Amino acid sequence: MTVSRFVDLSDLPAVDGHCHPLLPDPWSVSPRTFADLFSEGRPQAMTAHVPHTGYFRRTLHDLARRLGAEPSVEAILARRVALGPEGARRAITESRIEALLIDTGYPPQAMGLAEMRRLLPCATHEVFRIETCAERLLARRLPYEAFLEAFREELRAAAPRCIAFKSIIAYRSGLATRPWAREQIERAYTDVMARVQAGGSARLVEKPLLDALFQVGLEVAVDTGRPLQVHSGFGDPDIDLLQSNPLLLRPVLEDPRSAPVRLVLLHLAYPYFREAAFLAAVYPQVYVDLSLAIPFLGPGVISPLTETLALAPSSKLLYGSDVGALPELFALSADWGRATLGEALGWLIERGGLSGGEGRLIGGQILSANSKAVYGLPP
């Protein structure tokens, strides 16, 4: 793909519609921990290979330039410590990040939102992960009906303080949800409780129960007017990528009961970006978030992004990063997002897909305006 035209979006603000909390101490980071931030593999499994990825090399050079350090892990980490919290605030300000929408469900050990709000000079909003909520409730050892009602009430209680709900059902049992007989769901719940009471994991993987909880999440989203973010496409190695194709959500999208819910497909659904763009083009309630794909693919995201822009309404595309841990990563991803989006828009303008004046307008929609509309943020 050759692009000679470029839409300059560098002065436009960004709303990061999908990201994660900072580390409890973002300045006490070892080189090994730093390397793990650039892989979706299991911790330390890809340590030998991460330095050879485009994501890592791009971060090393851009972060070194931003911080005024040599492009080595040791020099960058030392410079971050020297700059401290003021350096973090400056990075967010310089990259014109207006708001962060934080999935508080992961990682389990992270900086709290209250501390992030004190640290960072941008708005910070909570995205409430429904499966994490259900797993916390298992410790109460409730009968199934009481558990289901407690889960519903927890979601309702979270709605006033959160900007959206989120589901990671794609990771656990896949996006092909369906109704189950009551006895099948109760049997799955009984199996979960037996495992937990025997000292096993509270991680929910039982499909009948997960599908039932997803349905409750949809119902509460309808009742409270909250959007529902849905993981789709690539991610951690425990995902069955075949089961994270957003086309599997079609029965949900065709169900009139869930039609009012604004469903946000995360991660550009990569490699299913064509499928996600198609769904956004034909279902009014479907939106596509660009996170994870932007930092991981770097310049390589221009091709799928261009196809997505060509098919999906520009009013349905939302900037996001899926980064966390270090504040500078929010800033880098926003800069990269503007650059790649500017190139993709330039490619379309050059070929008559857009007029020159439409490029910046669409860039502004995707970087912030669409998220403000979908999540009800201040204009």
- pLDDT at 4 exceeding the cut of 70: no
**What's the pLDDT score for residue 238?**
85
**What's the pLDDT score for residue 213?**
98
- Is residue 5 one of the residues assigned to a domain? no
Q: Residue 202, exposed/middle/buried by CB under 10 A (0-12, 13-18, 19+)?
A: middle
- pLDDT at 1 exceeding the cut of 80: no
How many other C-beta atoms lie within 10 A of the C-beta of residue 183? 9
**What's the pLDDT score for residue 44?**
81
Question: Mean pLDDT over all residues of the chain?
Answer: 96
Q: State the sign of the Cα–Cα–Cα–Cα dihedral 63, 298, 291, 2.
A: positive
**Which residues form the domain of 41?**
14-375
**What's the pLDDT score for residue 5?**
79
- Is residue 9 one of the residues assigned to a domain? no
**What's the pLDDT score for residue 45?**
83
**What's the pLDDT score for residue 229?**
98
The pLDDT tens digits of the residues spanning 60-88 come to 999 999 999 999 999 999 999 999 999 99
Q: What is the average pLDDT across 91-119?
A: 96
- Is residue 72 one of the residues assigned to a domain? yes
Q: Is 242 left (phi over 0), alpha (psi -120 to 50) or beta?
A: alpha
- Is residue 166 one of the residues assigned to a domain? yes
- pLDDT at 3 exceeding the cut of 60: no
Tell me how many domains the chain contains. 1
- Is residue 1 one of the residues assigned to a domain? no
Under the banding of pLDDT at 50, 70 and 90, the label for residue 42 is: confident
Show Cβ contacts of residue 85 under 8 Å, excluding neighbours closer than 6 positions.
Answer: 119
- Is residue 6 one of the residues assigned to a domain? no
- Is residue 198 one of the residues assigned to a domain? yes
| Cβ atoms 367, 13 nearer than 8 A | yes
| CATH code where residue 31 lies | 3.20.20.140
Q: State the sign of the Cα–Cα–Cα–Cα dihedral 318, 241, 238, 306.
A: negative
- Is residue 7 one of the residues assigned to a domain? no
